[in-house]
């Protein structure tokens, strides 16, 4: 667990698709728009973020809505979420909860932590060490800064419009 002063507050700048793998990417940026952190995520988590960012309300609560609703009903608030580590190309996160003045820290995937932070209007912090490691990884893999100029609300709206409730069911 990192200390908050060793972290930088960031916000979701947008969602895009990896042009090669078509895997969703969430892009976090700092308030000065100098630092960015792309995190490759799953389609369901990207959909959860996109619906919240676009203010789209589903007929029934999705998983992250359910979690937020349960926390709220039992008097627990999300203080903030934090991307804490990058190990072997995998990001790790923590959700910091407030339970009657006591802090509880829960391990989480970054995509779930970010989706919950968006719903609870909670800050997102990224450890400086993660930003440094990610920058080195991006430079090594690509030889240059990634181009996220194709982040588009219209593209996500198109993807969401084509989805049906069956797309959210688990296949067995």
Task: Write down the residue that tokens 């060793």 correspond to.
Answer: 6
pLDDT of residue 141: 53
Q: Is residue 169 part of a domain?
A: no
Q: Residues, the chain, total?
A: 172
pLDDT of residue 128: 93
Q: Is residue 74 part of a domain?
A: yes
What are the φ/ψ torsions at residue 31 (nearest 5 degrees)?
-70, -25
Q: CB atoms < 10 A from the CB of 157, how many? A: 13
What are the φ/ψ torsions at residue 6 (nearest 5 degrees)?
-95, 10
Q: Which domain holds residue 146?
A: 4-162
**What global pTM score does this model have?**
0.77
Q: Is residue 32 part of a domain?
A: yes
Report DSSP state, residue 71. Answer: H
Q: Are 124 and 28 within 8 A, CB to CB? A: yes
Q: Are 66 and 112 within 8 A, CB to CB? A: no
Q: Is residue 99 part of a domain?
A: yes
Helices 43-54 and 153-162: angle between axes, nearest 10 degrees? 110
pLDDT of residue 52: 92
Q: What tokens appear for 61 in the block? A: 């609560």
Nearest to 117 by CA among 99, 134, 94: 94
> What does the pLDDT look like over 35-86, one tens digit per residue?
999 999 999 999 999 999 999 888 898 899 999 999 999 999 999 999 999 9
Q: CB atoms < 10 A from the CB of 79, how many? A: 17
Domain CATH number, residue 58: 3.10.690.10
Q: Is residue 170 part of a domain?
A: no
> What does the pLDDT look like over 107-161, one tens digit per residue?
999 999 999 999 999 999 999 999 988 876 555 455 454 444 444 555 555 555 6
Q: Are 13 and 151 within 8 A, CB to CB? A: yes
pLDDT above 90: residue 105: yes
Give the total number of structural domains in the chain: 1
């Amino acid at each position: 667990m990192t200390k908050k002063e060793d972290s930088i507050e960031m916000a979701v700048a947008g969602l895009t698709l990896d042009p090669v793998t078509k895997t969703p990417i969430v892009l976090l940026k700092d308030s000065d728009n100098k630092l960015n952190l792309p995190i490759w995520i799953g389609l369901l988590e990207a959909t959860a973020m996109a619906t919240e960012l676009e203010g789209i309300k589903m007929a029934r609560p999705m998983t992250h809505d359910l979690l937020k609703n349960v926390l709220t009903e039992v008097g627990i608030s999300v203080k903030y979420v934090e991307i804490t580590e990058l190990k072997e190309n995998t990001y790790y996160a923590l959700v910091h909860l407030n339970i009657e003045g006591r802090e509880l820290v829960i391990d989480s995937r970054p995509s779930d932590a970010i989706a919950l932070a968006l719903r609870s209007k909670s800050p997102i912090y990224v450890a400086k060490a993660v930003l440094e490691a990610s920058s080195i990884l991006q430079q090594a893999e690509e030889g240059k800064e990634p181009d996220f100029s194709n982040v588009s609300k219209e593209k996500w709206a198109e993807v969401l419009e084509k989805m049906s409730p069956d797309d959210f069911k688990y296949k067995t």
